[in-house]
Chain A
Amino acid sequence: MQDLLDSALQRIQASATAEELEAVRVEVLGRKGVLAQLSKDMGKLTAEERAARGKFINTAKQSLEGAYEALKSRFESDALAKRLDSEWLDLTVPSSSAPLPATGPGSLHPITQIQWEIEDLFRSLGFSVLDGPEVETEHHNFDALNIPPDHPARDMQDTFWLEGHHLLRTHTSPVQVRGMEKLGPPLRMIAPGRVFRNESVDASHEHTFYQLEGMMIDRNVSVGNLTFFMKTLLSEIFKREVTVRLRPGFFPFVEPGFELDIECLICGGSGCPVCKQSGWVELLPCGLVNPHVLRMSGIDPNEWNGFAFGLGLTRLVMMRYAIDDIRWLQSGDLRFLRQF
């Protein structure tokens, strides 16, 4: 029996091509192969012999199959290497030597489109468009915005913490700090960009989304100025006259802080499912910049003040196109993206 096994093993290993190997496999491991023969007369053996035979067959099967698989994968990788080698391409030939592709224009991501649109609107009002890093320090993301360590307001923004005492920015407000530090007053700036919150993803929540924060620092900026400005801006964004209202909201980097609601654009304020029958839709947080924040950025709050606000770009895209599931935006799915 051992001889039978050894010779079968030798035959497998002697195969020079994949075809040969396959033929040997049928002969050795197939239904009429060596192993099949060994188990044929099992019925005539004593129980003891049968056990020994069974054990032998098992071991034999394992070693034969092992040898077969090893060789097979070697042949396969050789074949792949050979095929890939034959596919060598000279990429130094001019690109013009390839035919022009038959394709129409591609498309910009809907977030990009709305971001550019809003950037242009702000630029027309004399705002600078700034950006900062996505990986931030605790100082810029929290402390400089009047959210010290152990402040319960940190709960409002579930944070991704990174090794090395860094974090993923939870808002683009740190860019305001950087803007104030770099440009000084008077200042009109916006900071659009990608932000991160440690939240489970579902149809209406994402851990990665886009925001646009803005601020205006000047002399004698009032709540009335803020309301006027937001109304003007939102009327431009929604391309129709909107009605806004302010109500108290707590955000440590502003004082006083507001939640800004707009009168529901669907029902016009009479109440519908979109506004939960209230006639108003909560749209954005805003407020007068907290003097501590100004001071921490080197601006004298006795001379300067201003307002700040945050706009959810992702939210605006969802609203504008009535997108049913926020996850499409980061899906990379062209069935979705090509529609824009």
Chain B
Amino acid sequence: MKFSYSWIREFVPGLGSESGGVTAQSLERLITMKTAECEGIETAGALLSGAVVAKVLEVEPIEGFHNQKALVDAGPYGIKTVVCGASNCRAGITTVYVPLGLKKVSGVMSDGMLASAAELEINKDHGGILELDGTQPLPVSDHIIEIDNKSITHRPDLWGHYGMAREVAAITGKTLRDPIDLSLLPAPGGPVKVEIEDTHLCPRYSALVFENVTVQPSPLWLQARLTAIGLNPISNIVDLTNLIMAELAQPMHAFDRDKLVGETIWARPAREGEAMPALNGETYALTPSNMVIADASGPIAIAGVIGGRDSAISASTTTIVLESANFNASSVRKTSSSLKLRTDASMRFEKAQDPHNTVRALARALELLPLLSPGIRLVGGLADCGRELTAPAPVTLNLDWLARKLGRSLEASEVRQILESLEFGVTRPDAENFSVSIPSWRATKDVAMPDDLVEEVGRMIGYSSIPLASPLVLCKPSFDPPERDFLRTVKRHAVAQGLTEVSNYSFISEEEARRFGLAVEDHIRVLNPIAAGQELMRISLLPGIHRNIVENARHFDHFRLFEVGREIHKSPLSEHTHFMAAIFTKDDGRSALLELKRVAEGLAPGLRVRPAAPSAWEHPHRAAELWWQGRPLGRLSELHPKLVENGRAAVLDLDLDLLRELEPERAKYQPVRRFPTSAFDLSILTPERELAATLELEIRRFAGDLAEAVEYVTEFQGPPLAEGRKSVSFRVVAGAPDRTLSSAEITEVRTRIIEGLSGQGFELR
């Protein structure tokens, strides 16, 4: 929202005074510290400072250029020669001269310029230089303070200059001048009848009718004022409604009376199937959730949002109905968002405007219209309809409580002065309390409880005046969920193993889901994705990790990375924290897989690897499930070569929720053996795809109690072994708790294993 400094100054005249004046720059800082966040300050109509009304005396062409040389009577600046490119530059016209210094243009020394209305920032017309009729003074330049809209979401009153002026007056201790003279309003009884179907959705509808209207451009001061705050001047009537909206935060609308059907205006929900062509050229299909203003033929405006095209003001308009109404904030917001149409009006109404304001705006119009449309006449009285407006109950403010909330002692008189400067009513029923009545423009949703008054007092005394003090809190041990420490352990472990942590988005694309064999319908869909390719919530960290692999492979020959992140599942809706690690290498890939297995074993000691049916994204012969304590904990595999170019990527996926839930098995202590053990090696000839784990189990089975340990040593393939065969070596450690085994006993263990294995079809080498 843009605020004009000179406009505010009209309501707070003391701002510009010689002594104790406040510049726009210091005002910006004061507003930021006490009211709302300023985004910046800029000059509107910079060229207007120094500009003067000038008369063109002579014009002659410049050979070879389309520019012309003009001799200008620039009043106080004297007679000047100016080069001008505008086609309407001709002798005899009155226009605007801007001193700019000497400059050679089209071969001629030009001393200043003649300006268009766009250059002067009066309106957007840059079709030629501004032609004046000699009766209007030039507007003056202005400072524009831009306020962050988000910081005044809760302040309906600050969507108009008068509301901001009230703040400024309170901040600076100066007097506020109310521009409204309610005595201008005619007696009730309008020439139009107003019917409100639901006064909850339309608490008040006020209107005046005028005849003998001349629709014409607004005076320059009004055009400049609207342009400076970012509104487009259109015509005197439309500009008036915008001016009052920007002044009082009360949106208004003008209908062409002759285009309305019947004598009654209804404020009602749209009927099913109704549609309305709007001022912006669009036609909106409406439903009963949209409030409309209607005449006998149907909707003529979408309440609080936009006017209808068919009843709009045009050059031929002579009679107008000037609407000043109040609509329910939620309803306007719903309509505006369902129609995807945000307007200056809807932005204000959705902040919950004050219903008392409708007639103030009409009084202001009564004052201004005769200036903008000379000869205009009021027809009949004031149409004003709505629910009874009740003042909210006063809020009790306990002064001691207030001081405790702020953390600073306060004089009662100081508190009273602050609240009264903001036009709160203050009485003091007893020594400890104020009874504070809330002005209507703060009562719609902003201020309702004593905590809201803490803010009013706090910001005005200045938060920097509050001494800093350590909180005195109750002594209580903190509760810490175990997950946090667990996740730290996991991450530290991964980093110690040489892995670098990455963080990926929670979104994936449908195409990614399909590529990894994940059913698209298993994913939660984002209804309003920010970009194509981010429409599903990830149910696996894999697509992100895969992207990391592909992208980093452009820069590195080998790397290790991991992510700890959440999978988001649909049915039932749940989030699962997973650990996914990847190692990219250029070699045969075996070490990377075993390295990741070691990473997993570090987190789940003794986990078991079981070959698994490969998924579409896995190397069909390098995929395994990881089991721990009888539960499937995750997966270890190599990515399918289709997915990785110029290298191999091993991937480990662990379910961290399950891992945390499963306690590691408690160690079983056995007395340390005092008798020496003996070890012997066995090499077993097997088909090449026999699993080491199977062989180890078999050896343990046949070795019996005397085998203390069975350890895989190595394996071998190739000549002289036959094709399709391999030799796997194990070391068996034999011993007993109560004696040293005799060589006969050791041989017996060995024989038992060999015979047992032979019985299973294995040969010993």
A60 contacts the other chain (CB 8 A)? no
Number of A-B pairs, beta carbon distance below 8 Å: 308
Partner of B483 from A91, A131, A133, A256 at Cβ < 8 Å = A131
Is A142 on the interface with B (CB-CB < 8 A)? Answer: no
A334 contacts B500, CB within 8 Å?
Answer: yes
Assess the A105–B498 pair: CB atoms within 8 A: yes
Please determine whether B498 and A99 come into contact, CB atoms closer than 8 angstroms. no
Q: Give chain A interface residues in 213-229, CB to chain B under 8 Å.
A: 216, 218-225, 227-229
Q: Given the interface contacts A108-B495, A218-B471, A224-B466, does A135 sit within 8 Å of B622 by beta carbon?
A: no
Binary A-proximity of B692-706 (CB < 8 A = 1, otherwise 0):
111000000000000
Whole-angstrom distance between the alpha carbons of A109 and B693 in the complex? 37
Report B-chain residues with C-beta under 8 Å of the C-beta of A2. Answer: none
Indicate whether B509 reaches chain A with its CB closer than 8 angstroms: no
With a CB–CB cut-off of 8 A, which chain B residues contact A98? 590-591, 594-595, 598
A307-B347 Cα distance, complex, nearest whole Å: 30
If A106-B501, A227-B466 touch, does A160 touch B528 (CB 8 Å cutoff)?
Answer: yes
List CB contacts (< 8 Å) of A307-340 with chain B. 329-335, 337-338
Contact of A85 among B151, B334, B621 (CB under 8 A): B621
Instruction: Find B478's partner among A163, A188, A199 (CB 8 Å cutoff).
Output: A188
Q: How far is the CA of A187 from the CA of B449 in the complex (A)?
A: 24
Selecting from A18-26, A42-50, A122-130, A265-273, the interface stretch reads: A122-130
Q: Please name the residue on chain A nearest to B621 by beta carbon.
A: A88
Report the minimum CB–CB distance from A204 to chain B (whole Å). 16
Given contacts A91-B624, A109-B501, contact A221 B528 (CB under 8 A): no
Q: Does A11 contact B (CB under 8 A)?
A: no
Pairwise interchain contact A196-B621, C-beta atoms closer than 8 A = no
Q: Is A80 part of the contact surface with B, judged by Cβ < 8 Å?
A: yes
Give Cα A99–Cα B333 distance, bound, in whole angstroms: 66
In the assembled complex, the CB of B323 is this many whole angstroms from the nearest CB of chain A, namely 23
CB distance from A169 to the nearest CB of B (A): 11
A87 touches B619 (CB 8 A): yes
Q: Could you tell me if A128 and B479 are in contact, using CB atoms closer than 8 angstroms?
A: yes
Q: Is A72 an interface residue (CB 8 A)?
A: no
Given contacts A227-B468, A245-B464, A335-B555, contact A90 B405 (CB under 8 A): no
Contact yes or no, B500 A135, CB < 8 A: no
Contact A150 B329 (CB under 8 A): yes
A290 to B689, CA, bound (A): 67
Contact between B404 and A222 (Cβ–Cβ < 8 Å)? Answer: yes
Chain B residues contacting A199 (CB-CB under 8 Å) are: 530
**Quick one: given A99-B591, A103-B498, A108-B495, are A223 and B407 in contact (CB under 8 Å)?**
yes
Q: Does A139 contact B (CB under 8 A)?
A: no
Question: Which residues does chain B contribute within 8 Å of A332, judged by CB atoms?
Answer: 502-504, 544, 547-548, 551-552, 561
Task: Please name all residues of chain B whose beta carbon is closer than 8 Å to the beta carbon of A62 when the two chains form the complex.
Answer: none
Residue in A80, A112, A131, A166 whose beta carbon sits within 8 Å of that of B524 in the complex: A166
What CA separation (Å) do A245 and B408 show in the bound complex?
A: 16
Contact A255 B691 (CB under 8 A): no
Q: Verify A290–B451 contact, CB threshold 8 A.
A: yes
The residue on B at minimum CB distance from A246 is B463
CA distance A329 to B502 in the complex (A): 8
* Complex interface residues of chain B between 140 and 155 (CB less than 8 A to chain A): 150-155
Smallest Cβ-Cβ distance to B601: which chain A residue? A95
- Asked if B527 CB lies within 8 Å of chain A CBs, one says yes
- The answer to whether B63 has its CB under 8 Å from any CB of chain A is no
Q: Contacts of A247 on B, CB cut-off 8 Å?
A: 32-34, 37, 459, 463
* A54 beta carbon closer than 8 Å to chain B: no
A135 to B531, CA, bound (A): 19
Bound Cα distance A295, B466 (Å)? 27
Distance, CA A186 to CA B334, complexed state (A): 39
Q: Which B residues, 467 to 526, have Cβ-Cβ distances below 8 Å to chain A?
A: 467-474, 476-481, 483-484, 488, 491, 494-506, 524-526
In the complex, how many residues of chain B place their beta carbon closer than 8 angstroms to a beta carbon of chain A? Answer: 119
B384-407 Cβ-contact flags toward A at 8 Å (1 or 0): 000000000000000000001111
Nearest chain B residue, comparing its CB with the CB of A111: B503
Nearest B residue to A218 by beta-carbon distance?
A: B473
Name the contact of A126 in the complex, choosing from B476, B575, B597, B641 (C-beta under 8 A): B476
Within 8 A of B (CB), among A245-270: 245-250, 252, 255-259
Chain A residues within an 8 Å CB radius of B504: 330, 332
Does B495 lie within 8 Å of A162, measured CB to CB? Answer: no
Task: For the complex, give the distance between the alpha carbons of A249 and B641 in Å.
Answer: 55
- Given the known inter-chain contacts A91-B636, A166-B524, please indicate yes or no for A221 contacting B478, CB distance below 8 A: no
Please state if B463 and A258 are interface contacts (CB–CB under 8 Å): yes
Chain B residues near A222 (CB-CB < 8 A): 404-407, 466, 469
Q: Considering the chains assembled together, what is the distance between the CA atoms of A44 and B91 in angstroms?
A: 82
**What string of 1s and 0s marks CB contacts (under 8 Å) between A70-89 and chain B?**
00000000001100110111
> Chain A: how many interface residues by the 8 Å CB criterion?
102
A149-163: contact bitstring with B at CB < 8 Å (1 yes, 0 no)? 110110110001111
Contact A135 B575 (CB under 8 A): yes
Contact (Cβ within 8 A) A228 B468: yes
Q: Which of A163, A257, A291 contacts B527 (CB 8 A)?
A: A163
Contact (Cβ within 8 A) B459 A248: yes
Least CB distance from A131 to B in Å reads 7
Q: Are B459 and A95 in contact (CB under 8 A)?
A: no
Residue from the list A104, A163, A227, A333 in contact with B498, Cβ < 8 A: A104
- Give A50 to B759 CA distance when docked, in angstroms: 78
Q: Take A109-B503, A224-B406, A256-B458 as given contacts and tell me if A186 and B474 are in contact as well, using a CB distance cutoff of 8 Å.
A: yes
How far, in angstroms, from A228 to B636 measured CA to CA in the complex? 51
A93, B594: Cβ atoms under 8 Å? yes
Residues facing A in B678-697 (CB within 8 A) are 688-689, 691-694
Are the CB atoms of A97 and B544 closer together than 8 Å? Answer: no
In the complex, what's the smallest C-beta–C-beta distance from B509 to chain A, in angstroms?
15
Most buried by A among B449, B463, B711: B463
CB nearest to A161 among chain B residues: B527
Q: Per a CB cutoff under 8 Å, which of A93, A219, A288 touches B451?
A: A288
Instruction: Give the chain A neighbours of B692 by CB distance below 8 A.
Output: 90, 92-94
> Which of these, A163, A224, A337, contacts B467 with CB under 8 Å?
A224
Residues of B within 8 A of A92 (CB): 609-611, 624, 691-694
Is B37 touching A259 in the complex (CB atoms < 8 A)? yes
Residues of A contacting B693 in the complex (Cβ-Cβ under 8 angstroms):
92
A224→B408 contact, CB < 8 A: yes
| Inter-chain contact B620/A84, CB cutoff 8 Å | yes
Q: Does B593 contact A (CB under 8 A)?
A: yes
Q: Is residue A17 contacting chain B, with contact meaning CB distance below 8 A?
A: no
Does A334 contact B561, Cβ atoms closer than 8 Å? yes
Looking at the assembled complex, report how far the CB atom of B151 sits from the nearest CB atom of chain A, in whole angstroms. Answer: 6
Question: Quick one: which of A126, A160, A200 has the most chain B CB within 10 A?
Answer: A160
B111 at the interface (CB under 8 A from A): no
Known A150-B329, A156-B150, A224-B408: A168·B506 in contact at CB below 8 Å: yes
Task: Choose one: A101, A131, A223; the contact of B463 (CB below 8 Å).
Answer: A223
Contact A198 B528 (CB under 8 A): yes
Q: Which B residues have a C-beta under 8 Å from some C-beta of A? A: 32-37, 150-155, 329-330, 333-334, 350-351, 404-408, 449, 451-452, 454-455, 458-459, 463-464, 466-474, 476-481, 483-484, 488, 491, 494-506, 524-531, 537, 544, 547-548, 551-552, 555-556, 559-562, 566, 568, 570, 573, 575, 588-591, 593-595, 597-598, 601, 609-611, 619-622, 624, 636, 641, 688-689, 691-694, 711-712, 714-715
For this complex, 6 residue pairs linking A to B, each with C-beta atoms less than 8 Å apart, are A91-B609, A94-B711, A95-B597, A152-B329, A223-B407, A224-B467
Q: Which 5 A-B pairs give the minimum distances between C-beta atoms?
A: A224-B407, A222-B407, A256-B455, A92-B693, A103-B498
Q: Which residue numbers of A lie inside 8 Å of B, CB to CB?
A: 80-81, 84-85, 87-99, 101, 103-109, 111-112, 116, 119, 123, 126-131, 133-135, 149-150, 152-153, 155-156, 160-164, 166, 168, 183, 186, 188, 194, 196, 198-201, 207-208, 216, 218-225, 227-229, 231-232, 245-250, 252, 255-259, 288, 290-291, 305, 329-335, 337-338
Not counting A156-B153, A218-B473, a sample of 8 additional A-B residue pairs whose C-beta atoms are within 8 angstroms of each other reads A87-B588, A87-B621, A89-B589, A90-B691, A92-B624, A101-B595, A135-B524, A224-B406
